[in-house]
Every structure is written in structure tokens, then in C-alpha cells.
Amino acid sequence: MENNFEIKIYENIDMLYKDLYSEIKSLIINLKKPILGLATGSSPLKLYKLMSDGFKKESLDYINLKTFNLDEYIGLGKYDEQSYSYFMWNNLFKNINILEKNINLIDGKCKDVNKEIKRYQKRLDRAGAFDIQILGIGTDGHIGFNEPGTSIDSNCHMVYLDMQTIKDNSRFFNNLSDVPKSAITMGVKDILKAKRICLIATGDKKIEPIKKFVFGDITNKFPASYLKRHNNVCLYLDKTAATEILKNKDFTNYIVK
């Protein structure tokens, strides 16, 4: 079976994040104006810790870095602890010397959702291709908040979250009913514009999504599968998330580190 994406499988999860951080670091060092697309959630947390340490301990200079975040809950703003803006400030931006004007976040507290979508899309279009887009994957196959059914041609849009996503994300809230039901997300088309896409998946909840990604068809029922239309995608997996890949004797197109 052929595949047009890289797969890196790690015995040691710290090595996974170290390798991914190396990619980011070389981009920060070597490019005049690096642009990163960023995700929130559990998957990139350790990467942001390494990036923060990079500033503190290695004097890595983020002054020219521009970032764009994938998504935000509607109704939550940067002072709400469960918002993605708060997550980014708390886990990364406050720890490094990135300029505020170079940080692009969606305003979930905006008065006019359509206006906010247009504003963000304009920024995305002006920025051009990101150097690296960091992604996690939802158990329902979402990337960003592009839920099942989303078109490959989608731009920034408002979305009603899938029940599965609401359940998955309730771990960050006191009650299931506190999880916002809607969000604004970059579209699949915006994500696919990146020069390189690094998707992180670890742990047993990601076994099925990774199996579907690697062995399944490209379908709107599983939006992450659209990434197979891109020619520079790398899956960063731990051994657990990669369980089904490692089981399949006919499939050897990956490296174990």
C-alpha cells in the first residue's frame, strides 16, 4: 500500500515532541518571517512547553514569528480560561518574545460572527502559505473544528460542534452543558494551503482515528482524510496511537524512532 505522507512513530513520547520542536526551531532560526499555524488541546501542549523553554534556556528569538490559530469557541474570550485564546497565551505566548501584532486569534466574544469570519479570512489570505501547520485530530476525524460533512473547499466558517466533540472536550469544563455548542474555525482549504502539515496523535483515543486516516478513503465523513491530498504531511505518533499501523504486516511505510 502506497502513501504520500510521512509517518514517524515514537517509543518515547518526549522524543516525539523533541523532534517536532527541532523542526519548528530550525524554521524560527532560518526563515526571515516564519509563519506557524497553531492548534490547542492536549496534543500540542508539550511542544509549546519546549518552545517556551527554547526562549528561556536557548534564547530562541521569536520576534519575527507570526502565528495563526485554527479555531475558537463562540462566546468565549481571551479572559475565559476555557477559551483557546487563553490557552495560547497561558501555554505559549506569555512565555516567549512574540510580538502581539503577530499573533492571530479568532475573537469568540465578537458581536458579529460573520464580520469576525471575514476579518480572519482576510488575514489568512494576506498571510499566504504557513510554513508549518500544527494539527491534532478529533476522535470524529475533525481537524481544526472541521467536523464530519465539511467540504474540502471550506474557508473560515462557523460550525455547530458534533456531539462527539462536545463530549470529548467536556474534560476541560465543569459540566457537559458548559461546553460551547458552536465555534469559528479555519476551513480545510485554509489548512491545506500550508507548506507542511504536522499532525500529532498520542494515546488510545487516537488508535481508531489514525487507523481511519492511514487505511481509509478520502471522505467528507472523516475530514482529516483530506490531508492525503497534500504532499507534505507528517504524522507524529506514539506507539499507542499507531497500534493498527504496527499490526498491519503489509504496511511498512513508516519509521519507528
Binding site for ligand F6R (CB under 6 A): 39-43, 70-71, 84, 136-138, 142-145
Q: Which residue is nearest to ligand F6R (CB)?
A: 136
Query: Smaller CB distance to ligand F6R: residue 43 or 95?
Result: 43
Question: What are the beta bridge partners of residue 197?
Answer: 133, 233
Query: Measured from the CB of residue 145, what is the shortest distance to ligand F6R in angstroms?
Result: 6
Query: Measured from the CB of residue 242, what is the shortest distance to ligand F6R in angstroms?
Result: 15
Query: Smaller CB distance to ligand F6R: residue 71 or 190?
Result: 71
Single-letter residue type at 1: M
**Rounded to the nearest 10 degrees, how much is the dihedral formed by the CA atoms of 32, 131, 40, 186?**
120
**Rounded to the nearest 10 degrees, how much is the dihedral formed by the CA atoms of 228, 216, 148, 202?**
-80
Residue owning grid cell 504486516 = 249
Query: Smaller CB distance to ligand F6R: residue 56 or 94?
Result: 94
Query: Measured from the CB of residue 205, what is the shortest distance to ligand F6R in angstroms?
Result: 7
Residue among 38, 137, 40, 145 nearest 83 (CA): 40
Residue 80, all three cell numbers: 475565559
Query: Smaller CB distance to ligand F6R: residue 70 or 110?
Result: 70
Query: Measured from the CB of residue 176, what is the shortest distance to ligand F6R in angstroms?
Result: 16
